Structure 1
């Protein structure tokens, strides 16, 4: 099973840059998009509904703000909108999940805490709530893959010129610690790093230029522990830029007939 994840910086802009022509050439089973910056009624055009896929969207209810999508070749048994946080921040077009018989795949857009509409306190609360939820669902007899823009990097290997960014949002001590706890204590795995240890596999450029400025790896596919040995291949797509982020492509040894 191939899963692709990409934060698009606006779905209309990404479409103009050829995203959907590229999607048509990929043999992906599931595609998770984040940061659509569009309301669902604005996505009625057939270009946003690729042939061969079921298309699902969750917008924020606010124009040009957030929004996530999932395209899947296999019809899910259920859809989940949001994560159920009491703060309600997860309902701002930040999370959409498809459920199959044994597997769940989510498209996640985390608060970045880099704009006037997103505070550092909001981001901390979001991830504290998320970690509590992820810890809770480890007891479920279900496999999870959370794909998306997590708005932070894990180690120095994941940030170009890391020492210059130790005081920047996305690479603060508590953010690195949060990911360390997620992967070492809670028990989830960074699926990409299980198959690809290259140091230059960055996925995001704050400057919006892939050949200018320092790259960060802030886009993850986080898988539950039982899938640790199912990751076969992982890469980022470098040939063409659809946004300030690169697509993350991971192949799992999962039979789609047994999802």
Structure 2
């Protein structure tokens, strides 16, 4: 094999709203071969007609109305699908839909607690020895000792959201190792994409000093990223490609002038096995030219692999 593969990860913040705002135009213009979506947030039957162009879609909607939902779009129907609850919705070009079995194998300890939340789906591509996964990791919250009433947008919860996120990350690290090793044992590379709701380095947050006591940039969250990446396991493709520069960011608050002033965070990732990561020839974030043109509060992370 010696052909290029354009792959994107995109938290669309609701496919119905994204479709109205121009997701289809982006899809047609960039013409990706594979797209990992997060926060699709729609029943399968409510996905707008033609939302995915001519691509096949494997969708894990979860069972929480209006929340979460992850998908992988591909040019050809994948040869295998895996989700944590064992089923997925397949949407073929033309909008024909059906439910398929998507057995995950043995789940790692702790993951079954999240199986119905629509946070993870993985597929084996039909035209390349590659497993592609889409993840939406919980946003979380602050530990109890950092919660100060009057200085938080959300009501203090005693650290419950923080504890839940940390439990998820602990369980997912074990599940991720299983998925990566299973792909490699079958002769496939592995690519995890998605919204991890964690910025790894100081380069990944515009106002990083202020963010050190914010969810998504806590030391223990950043250490978790340290633990799941490495030169022999998974490579942060965008950071590896652009080097030690500020950004490019992939998320900006809707509030104020965060987008106009590029006060953003990089929380959307391509994490690839080393052999695949080495083939990346271009990597970047498709930041819209103006706030009025935004499709989502996230922008897609796009990588061209010379596979």
Answer yes or no: same fold by TM over 0.5.
Answer: yes
- 1:105 alignment partner, one of 120, 132, 140: 132
Larger Rg: 2
Query: Partners of 2:254 and 2:247 in 1: how far apart?
Result: 17
Query: Partners of 1:90 and 1:218 in 2: how far apart?
Result: 22
Q: Which residue pairs with 1:253 in the alignment?
A: 306
Asked whether the equivalents of residues 199 and 265 of structure 2 are also in contact (C-alpha less than 8 Å), the reply is yes
Q: Which residue pairs with 2:113 in the alignment?
A: 88
Q: 1:136 to 1:79 in 2, by over 3 A?
A: closer
Query: Partners of 1:169 and 1:185 in 2: how far apart?
Result: 27
- 1:49 alignment partner, one of 41, 52, 71: 52
Q: Which residue pairs with 2:60 in the alignment?
A: 58
Residue segments in structure 2 that go unaligned for 5+ positions in a row? 85-103, 142-153
Misfit runs of 4+, over 4 Å? 114-118
Asked whether the equivalents of residues 68 and 94 of structure 1 are also in contact (C-alpha less than 8 Å), the reply is yes
Asked whether the equivalents of residues 59 and 72 of structure 2 are also in contact (C-alpha less than 8 Å), the reply is yes
- 1:155 alignment partner, one of 192, 197, 201: 201
Q: Which residue pairs with 1:214 in the alignment?
A: 263
Q: 1:24 to 1:213 in 2, by over 3 A?
A: closer
Residue segments in structure 1 that go unaligned for 5+ positions in a row? 255-259
1:165 and 2:211 are equivalent in the alignment: yes
Query: Partners of 1:66 and 1:218 in 2: how far apart?
Result: 16
With structure 2 as the length reference, what TM-score do the two structures score?
Answer: 0.76
The total of aligned residue pairs comes to: 252
Asked whether the equivalents of residues 39 and 60 of structure 1 are also in contact (C-alpha less than 8 Å), the reply is no
Query: Partners of 2:64 and 2:246 in 1: how far apart?
Result: 37
Deviation at 1:186, TM superposition (A): 6.9
Query: Partners of 1:67 and 1:91 in 2: how far apart?
Result: 10
CA RMSD of aligned residues (A): 2.2
1:3 and 2:4 are equivalent in the alignment: no
Deviation at 1:137, TM superposition (A): 4.2
User: Residue deviations 1:35-80, cap 9 Å, x none?
Assistant: 112111211x3222312x1122111222211111211102210111
Deviation at 1:90, TM superposition (A): 4.1
| Equivalences for residues 108-127 of structure 1 within 5 A | 108-114=135-141, 119-127=161-169
SS in 2 for 1:147: strand
With structure 1 as the length reference, what TM-score do the two structures score?
Answer: 0.89
- 2:296 alignment partner, one of 240, 243, 251: 243
